[in-house]
């Protein structure tokens, strides 16, 4: 069992971690450690980790990085250390205290990035967080982000994930998002890493009345990726959109797991996840819509569409509805299949070569998700990257400036 090395590491280094960290994070650290010792890493037998072998991913003897946060001066981005006293208690309140990955992150993370948008403030430009990991030895990084959107706040956050391709890396990430009444958040996560990179990201979102959140996770290039997103709709008339777009080739592994919990009436949730899996890539989508008693007038739609592009690619799809209120409209749909042969023929009749026609159709297939990116410059950028990805021009993360 690979958790032991992390337990040993923590036992030896707890003082070092604490010295680099701050009070609010240290306060919950020991508790997380105790729990982690009991629960360990989730096994494939646990319902939410059916499709990813966590234990195996953590087996490598990683050096643990304590890179300090590099924060470009901004009115909204801070280190939790410097946060005002009334914001600090948000830390670790949402994160699932039964999830081994979250617990590990809580016990090892030494810094936390705080994005704080005051009431009735609209942040015009997207707030960008660039993560990159490099090193000469196998390394692990534990990232933590806390987002607090006060009443009526409005912002777009883009989190970019990069890695150099020389070494094996693993990142754990926990993002906690609080959206107070009427707040609006657009959160994008874009991964362009390497086949040697493993990523475990757990996102927890909590919404108050009339809050709206859109979370989009785009996996352009990766090694092993596991994204979990849990949303609690706790106030009436709140809205959530979860989107995902994944391209897998080689031996890439992309596992998205979502849970949207409708705790209040009149809320809306939409999910759209699309995958194109080629070669021996593995794609997995599992999403549950949970409508609690009393959450009447819930409207929810969950869609998962997948294209298997090679005989050895594998796709798991598991859309779920768990409903305890009667006045609801909930549905889900899942398709896994091949490109539309009739469309392919139509295009070829117009003289377009088969390979190009296929690429156009694959682009169009993912386009439905990318079209939903509100921030235009990002949308165009992703369109270009997706096209390049299908053309094989993005075998490595060489297109991004950060890794050069």
Phi and psi based region of residue 250 (left: phi greater than 0; alpha: psi -120 to 50; beta: remaining): left
Q: Please say which residue, 146 or 369, places its beta carbon nearer to another protein.
A: 369
CA-closest candidate to residue 338, choices 255, 389, 277: 277
Q: Please say which residue, 353 or 384, places its beta carbon nearer to another protein.
A: 353
Q: At closest approach, how far in Å is the CB of 136 from another protein?
A: 38
Q: At closest approach, how far in Å is the CB of 318 from another protein?
A: 5
Q: At closest approach, how far in Å is the CB of 361 from another protein?
A: 7
Q: Please say which residue, 1 or 343, places its beta carbon nearer to another protein.
A: 343
Q: What torsion, rounded to 10 degrees, do the Cα atoms 293, 295, 299, 303 define?
A: -50
Q: At closest approach, how far in Å is the CB of 379 from another protein?
A: 14
Q: At closest approach, how far in Å is the CB of 277 from another protein?
A: 9
Q: At closest approach, how far in Å is the CB of 1 from another protein?
A: 22
Q: Please say which residue, 59 or 331, places its beta carbon nearer to another protein.
A: 331
Q: Please say which residue, 28 or 323, places its beta carbon nearer to another protein.
A: 323
Q: At closest approach, how far in Å is the CB of 296 from another protein?
A: 7
Q: Please say which residue, 166 or 293, places its beta carbon nearer to another protein.
A: 293
Q: Please say which residue, 332 or 396, places its beta carbon nearer to another protein.
A: 332
Q: Please say which residue, 112 or 284, places its beta carbon nearer to another protein.
A: 284
Q: At closest approach, how far in Å is the CB of 133 from another protein?
A: 32
Distance between CA atoms of residues 17 and 64, nearest Å: 11
Q: Please say which residue, 59 or 335, places its beta carbon nearer to another protein.
A: 335
Q: Please say which residue, 119 or 364, places its beta carbon nearer to another protein.
A: 364
Three-class HEC string of the chain: CCHHHHHHHHHHHHHHHHHHCCHHHHHHHHHHHHHHHHHCCCCCCCHHHCCCCHHHHCCCCCEECCCCCCCCCCCCEEEHHHCCCCCHHHCCCCCCCCCHHHHHHHHHCCCCEEEEECCCCECCCCEEEEEEECCCCCEEEEEEEEEEECCCCEEEEEEEEEECCCCCEEEEEEEEEEECCCCEEEEEEEEECCCCEEEEEEEEEEECCCCEEEEEEEEEECCEEEEEEEEEECCCCCEEEEEEEEEECCCCEEEEEEEEEECCCCCEEEEEEEEEECCCCEEEEEEEEEECCCCCCEEEEEEEEEEECCCCCEEEEEEEEEECCCCEEEEEEEEEECCCHHHHHHHHHCCCCHHHHHHHHHHHHHHHHHCCCCCHHHHHHHHHHHHHHHCCCCCCHHHCHHHC
Long-range contacts of 6-10 (CB under 8 A, 24+ apart): 6/36, 6/58, 6/104, 6/108, 7/33, 7/36, 7/37, 9/64, 10/107, 10/108
Q: Which residues bind another protein (CB under 8 A)?
A: 47, 293-294, 296, 306, 308-338, 340-343, 345-354, 356-357, 360-361, 363-365, 367-368
Q: At closest approach, how far in Å is the CB of 373 from another protein?
A: 14
Q: At closest approach, how far in Å is the CB of 312 from another protein?
A: 8
Q: Please say which residue, 151 or 332, places its beta carbon nearer to another protein.
A: 332
Q: At closest approach, how far in Å is the CB of 25 from another protein?
A: 36
The total of other beta-carbon atoms located within 10 Å of residue 301's CB is 16
């Amino acid at each position: 069992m690979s958790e032991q090395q992390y337990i040993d590491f923590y036992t030896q280094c707890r003082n070092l971690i604490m010295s680099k960290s701050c009070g609010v994070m240290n306060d919950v650290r020991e508790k997380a450690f105790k729990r982690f010792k009991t629960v360990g890493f989730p096994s494939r037998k646990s319902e939410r980790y059916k499709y990813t072998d966590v234990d195996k991913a953590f087996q490598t003897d990683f050096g643990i990085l304590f890179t300090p946060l590099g924060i470009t001066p901004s009115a909204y981005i801070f280190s939790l250390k410097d946060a005002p006293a009334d914001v600090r208690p948000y830390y670790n309140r949402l994160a699932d205290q039964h999830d081994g990955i979250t617990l590990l992150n809580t016990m090892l993370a030494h810094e936390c990035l705080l994005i704080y948008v005051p009431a009735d403030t609209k942040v015009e430009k997207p707030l960008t967080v660039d993560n990159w990991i490099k090193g000469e030895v196998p390394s692990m990084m534990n990232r933590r982000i806390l987002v607090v959107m006060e009443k009526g706040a409005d912002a777009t956050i883009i989190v970019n994930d990069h890695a150099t391709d020389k070494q094996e890396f693993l990142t754990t990430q926990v993002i906690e998002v609080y959206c107070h009444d009427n707040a609006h958040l657009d959160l994008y996560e874009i991964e362009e890493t390497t086949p040697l990179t493993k990523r475990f990201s757990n996102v927890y979102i909590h919404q108050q009345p009339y809050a709206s959140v859109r979370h989009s996770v785009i996996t352009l290039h990766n090694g092993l990726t596991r994204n979990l997103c849990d949303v609690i709709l706790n106030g009436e008339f709140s809205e959530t959109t979860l989107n995902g777009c994944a391209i897998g080739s080689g031996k890439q592994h992309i596992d998205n797991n979502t849970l949207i919990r409708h705790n209040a009436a009149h809320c809306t949730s939409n999910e759209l996840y699309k995958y194109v899996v080629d070669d021996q890539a593995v794609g997995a989508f599992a999403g549950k819509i949970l409508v609690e008693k009393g959450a009447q007038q819930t409207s929810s739609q969950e869609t998962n569409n997948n294209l298997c592009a090679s005989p050895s690619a594998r796709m798991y799809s598991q859309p779920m509805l768990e409903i305890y209120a009667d006045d609801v409209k909930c549905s889900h749909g899942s398709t896994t299949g091949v490109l539309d042969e009739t469309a392919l023929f139509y295009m070829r009749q117009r003289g377009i070569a088969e390979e190009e026609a296929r690429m156009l159709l694959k682009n169009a297939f993912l386009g439905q998700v990318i079209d939903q990116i509100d921030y235009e410059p990002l949308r165009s950028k992703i369109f270009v990257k997706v096209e390049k990805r299908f053309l094989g021009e993005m075998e490595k993360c060489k297109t991004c400036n950060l890794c050069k």
